[in-house]
Amino acid sequence: MALKIIIADDHPLLVDGLRRVLEEMDDVQVLEPVGNGRQLLARLTGQAVDIVLLDLHMPQLDGLETLRLLQKEFPSLKILVFTNYAQPKLWREVRALGARGYLLKNCTAQTLKEAVLTVSDGGTWFDEEGIAGAAPESEDTVFTDDFMKKYQITPREVEIIRKIAQGYTTKEIGEQLYVSEFTVNAHRRNICRKLDIYTPVGLVNFAKDNGLV
C-alpha cells in the first residue's frame, strides 16, 4: 500500500519541488497540497493520510497551532515539520507537541527522503546538533511576525538573506530551496528594494545585525 503524504505549505513553487522529490520514491502517493492549517484539518476529516509535511508559517492557522489541533484530533498521524526556522526554541516546542521530526528547508533531497522513510517506519528525525548550530539562540526569533513586519519581508526572503550571507551562489540557493535561479533573483530584487540595501556586503551585515547567521 502506498504511503500517503500531504504537504501543508503556502508557497506553490516550493510545493512543486517537494512533490517532484517525493514522487521519485517508491510506493509514495503525494496528495493534493493545502495552503494553510484550516484547509489541512478539513482535508484530513475525509481523507486517509499517513504523513503530513507541515510548514510553521502559514496564513489563517499557523503551524504550531495546527500541530496542537492535529495531535488532539488525529493522534496517530505522523507530522514532519518542514521549515525555514532553525531556532532551538521552536525545535523543542515542536517536539514537545508531538511532531515526529523537524527538517529544515535547506536540506538535500536525499535527506528529505530519508526523513520521510524514518518517520514512516515509526522513528523520529530530530537533528539536535544541526539545529543548535544553524542559528544563535534568541528570544527574538525570526519566526515572530514582529521581525518580518518591521522590514516588510516574508519568511522566504529571510531565508534568501540568510543564504546570501552564508556565501551561497544563486544557483546553490535555488537548488537548496527547490526553486529556479530566476525565482531567487526575483526575491533578491525585492529584498534589496524593501531594505534599501543593494550590495552583498550590506546584506551580510544586515543578516549579522539581526541574528540571521
Query: CATH number, domain at 192?
Result: 1.10.10.10
**Do 115 and 167 reside in the same domain of the chain?**
no
* pLDDT at residue number 130: 63
Residue 21's domain comprises 3-133
Q: How far apart are alpha carbons 130 and 94 in whole angstroms?
A: 16
* pLDDT at residue number 83: 87
**Do 150 and 126 reside in the same domain of the chain?**
no
* pLDDT at residue number 197: 93
Q: What is the dihedral of CA 106, 107, 108, 110, to 10 degrees?
A: -160
**Do 100 and 189 reside in the same domain of the chain?**
no
**Do 159 and 89 reside in the same domain of the chain?**
no
**Do 58 and 126 reside in the same domain of the chain?**
yes
Which triple of cell numbers denotes residue 134? Answer: 544553524
* pLDDT at residue number 150: 79
Which of 133, 159, 177 is a domain's end point? 133
Residue 170 dihedral angles phi and psi, to the nearest 5°? -60, -45
Q: Tell if the pTM clears 0.75, that is, is over it.
A: no
* pLDDT at residue number 142: 46
**Do 55 and 110 reside in the same domain of the chain?**
yes
- Ranges of residues in the chain whose predicted pLDDT is under 70: 128-146, 213
Helical (H) or strand (E) element with 92: helix 88-96
* pLDDT at residue number 131: 67
Question: How many distinct structural domains can be found in the chain?
Answer: 2
